[in-house]
Structure 1
Amino acid sequence: MVERLLEATATTLAERGLEDTTTNHIAETAGVSIGSLYQYFPDKEALLEALMERVSEKVANVFREHATQLGYVEFDLKSVTNYLILYGMNAIRNDALSLEIMRSWNSLPLERLLDPLEKFFLSMAQPYFVRHYQDYPIQHLEGKLYVIINSTLFTVVRYLRSAPNNTITEKKLAHILSDMIVAMLAPPPSA
């Protein structure tokens, strides 16, 4: 039942938008009574929190599978970050729920989405940096990745929300973000 209600929440949000979605709409989409919905979720906010966690898991699974198939640990850092940024932007653009999450960014419980994604990207980065420890002997990796992950996510969302009024291309943005990531993680120049 929980899965059914979360799927109905996702469908309703994608079709109606956050502001026009009510628990009655969600119950109707799920084909259950409003009373049944309230047995599992006390309100719309609880549904949204659970949905953000679910979306985070889905994004993590898709990225993990794609990055693993790509063999990301074998590539140079600039290539892998550039590729995965473009991949993520394309995935958001082609998913109605992701577009609505992006449009409603300020009204959603984003910590339920971003906190697990941040942990996921950190866990994905660790094997890469273990493999490339000689190229990137990084101090404070966790802190640097926190800044990189969050600044990249927010920049991508801002960029996609501003389309089609952006002054740079998507490829250029991915290139610039990749340069920023590499520069932040590169060892300091020797004296």
Structure 2
Amino acid sequence: MRKIPQQQRSKELVARLVEATAQSVREHGMDKFTTHHVAELAAVSVGSLYQYFDSREDLVEALLEDVTQNLRTGLNTLVLLKTTDLRDMVEKSVHFGMGFLRADDGLAIELVRNWYRLPTQNVVRLLQDTLLDFMRMYLLKNPLANNPERLHIRSFIIANAIVFTMIRAISEPNPFITDAELEKELVEMVVSYLNA
């Protein structure tokens, strides 16, 4: 029987602990999940968990890194489509964002509900950078007449407006707007702003 190296076993255990954290957050919410529950779900002792993570906060940070990596992979796929039609790029991006937030059996929604107290800087930076990449691709074929040198400022405003609006809509227990309506209005807002 082949022996698995210690480093690989450690990576596999950390991955199991991060997945168990996601499952625990889904089941119990951010406020009620515990390291004991995470250890139980990962089928390890609490002592083993604490060999890799010092606290609940460290588990959440590792979970957010995992979510950010999944988001990066999805956004990179969008960037690789190499479309230069502004409306098409915005529609695909907004649709992807809503799908990402609605996927994963409620994990994203629970994270969104607690957005203000989580270390989300990397997620927001990733969204801004990806939007800036999209805008640069668009500008290669379709120069904006209105201050293209302010692209980084526009991408900051757009990314934050979209993210905040999606978070507000998704975290509402009884939303007054459907996902399709929200997507349509966000696309109109971004396209109008960029063409202004």
Q: Answer yes or no: is 1:36 the counterpart of 2:68.
A: no
Amino acid in the other structure paired with 2:124: L
**Candidates 120, 140, 165, aligned match of 1:155:** 165
Q: Which runs of 4+ in 1 moved over 4 A?
A: 134-137
- 2:98 aligns to what? 89
Q: Give the distance between the partners of 1:135 and 1:15, measured in 2 at CA.
A: 50
* Greater mean deviation of Cα atoms: 40-49 or 124-133: 124-133
Aligned pairs (5 A) from 1:36-185? 36-66=48-78, 68=80, 71-75=81-85, 77-96=86-105, 97-133=107-143, 138-166=148-176, 168-185=177-194
Q: Structure 1: state its 5+ residue gaps.
A: none
**Structure 1 residues 137 and 131 mapped into 2: Cα distance closer, same or farther (>3 Å)?**
farther
Q: Give the distance between the partners of 1:142 and 1:4, measured in 2 at CA.
A: 38
**Structure 1 residues 125 and 134 mapped into 2: Cα distance closer, same or farther (>3 Å)?**
closer
Aligned residues of 1:52 and 1:110 also touching (Cα < 8 A): yes
Q: Give the distance between the partners of 1:65 and 1:15, measured in 2 at CA.
A: 30
TM-score (norm 1): 0.82
Q: Structure 2: state its 5+ residue gaps.
A: 1-12
Amino acid in the other structure paired with 1:162: E
C-alpha distance after superposition, 1:73-103 (max 9, x if no partner): 232x123212321232133223221122122
C-alpha distance after superposition, 1:156-176 (max 9, x if no partner): 11111125331x333332222
* Greater mean deviation of Cα atoms: 152-161 or 58-67: 58-67
| SS of the residue 1:165 aligns to | coil
Aligned-pair identity (%): 32
- 2:9 aligns to what? none
- Count of matched residue positions in the alignment of Structure 1 and Structure 2: 183
Q: Give the distance between the partners of 2:194 and 2:19, measured in 1 at CA.
A: 39
- 1:20 aligns to what? 32
Q: Give the distance between the partners of 1:116 and 1:67, measured in 2 at CA.
A: 13
* Greater mean deviation of Cα atoms: 117-126 or 83-92: 117-126
**Structure 1 residues 14 and 24 mapped into 2: Cα distance closer, same or farther (>3 Å)?**
same
TM-score (norm 2): 0.80
Q: Which has the higher contact order (CA 8 A, sep 6+)?
A: 1
* C-alpha displacement of 1:121: 3.4
